[in-house]
Amino acid sequence: MDGNGAVTVFIFGAGYSGSAYGRLAAGRGITVHGTTRDKQKLDGLRAAGITPHLFDGSASGEMMAALADTTHLVISIAPGPDGDPVLEMMRDAIASMERLEWIGYLSTVGVYGNHDGEWVDEETDCLPVSQRSVQRVAAEMAWQDFADTIGKPLAILRLSGIYGPGRNAFVNLETGRAKRLIKPGQVFNRIHVEDIARALDFLAERRQDGVFNVTDDLPAPPQDVVEYAGSLMKVDLPPAIDFASATISPMARSFYGENKRVSNAKLKRAGFAFAHSDYKTALSRMWAQDNWH
């Protein structure tokens, strides 16, 4: 988006992905507001150029004033068993936002569920397996119904496994958290947080609606990523562990129950170019630039 004074961004959930987008927009002179539940994160948001608002269900007067001036709304808060918290708490306030031009909702490729390693795209049926993915599908539908009701374009961004500075295989190897779980045939897609920010920016500028997979070009076994990072760091790798006998958390095990290759062709057809098209390109660049911490 250009940096004219007419554009104001509000991010519900200015966490890892949301704040990356906020930093990108603020860097071009766009007014950006973002919420957090954690007082400890207020200074970090300010440093990123984001005006912070504490939000855990009730909105301050300052937050309501910011919403009234917002043109681009981004939702990056996970739903729960009682539905989408932003819609549940702020539906009327958002419906009354006279300047609102576009809504972006950050979802997950987990909504597709398991497809036994086959390719999926935005037209593929959602067959969510985990409870969190079932809740995501419901949240997507609720936001779509709401956007249709108020007559605003909604882009749903389905994200694959997020990595970037501070969250990557280098950090996991350095801290001893890296694992090489071997499950034959298992692949995952990934996405660098910078490309999430850039995709949001791209879709917001165009007031684009629809569902878009925001994911890399190279679905790959998870151990391949650890091994590639280790080759760059020149460190010893953790031992290979057979997935069937591994001791891992129920959540981690549920991730491995969803095996698919996710296509990003729709977003590319719209004109978007990924800066980090695959994990090898991204990890090589992060290592060379020493910006992985």
pLDDT in tens, 83-110: 999 999 999 999 999 999 999 999 999 9
- Longest Cα pair distance anywhere in the chain, in angstroms? 57
| Centroid of chain to Cα 251 | 18
Cα distance between residue 276 and residue 195, in whole Å: 7
> pTM for this structure?
0.97
pLDDT in tens, 114-154: 999 999 999 999 999 899 999 999 999 999 999 999 999 99
- What are the chain's domains? 8-163+190-217+261-276 (3.40.50.720)
* One-letter amino acid of 101: E
Q: Which pLDDT value is given to residue 5?
A: 53
Q: Which pLDDT value is given to residue 2?
A: 46
**What does the block give as tokens for 103?**
């809504």
**Would residue 280 be called left, alpha or beta, if left means φ above 0 and alpha means ψ between -120 and 50 degrees?**
alpha
Q: Which pLDDT value is given to residue 1?
A: 54
* 3-state SS string for the chain: CCCCCCCEEEEECCCHHHHHHHHHHHCCCCEEEEEECCHHHHHHHHHCCCEEEECCCCCCHHHHHHHHCCCEEEECCCCECCECHHHHHHHHHHHCCCCCCEEEEEEEHHHHECCCCCEECCCCCCECCCHHHHHHHHHHHHHHHHHHHHCCCEEEEEECEEEECCECHHHHHHHCCCCEEECCCCCECEEEHHHHHHHHHHHHHCCCCEEEEECCCCCECHHHHHHHHHHHHCCCCCCEEEHHHCCCCHHHHHHCCCCCEECCHHHHHCCCCCCCCCHHHHHHHHHHHCCCC
Looking at the predicted structure, is the pLDDT value of residue 4 above 50? no
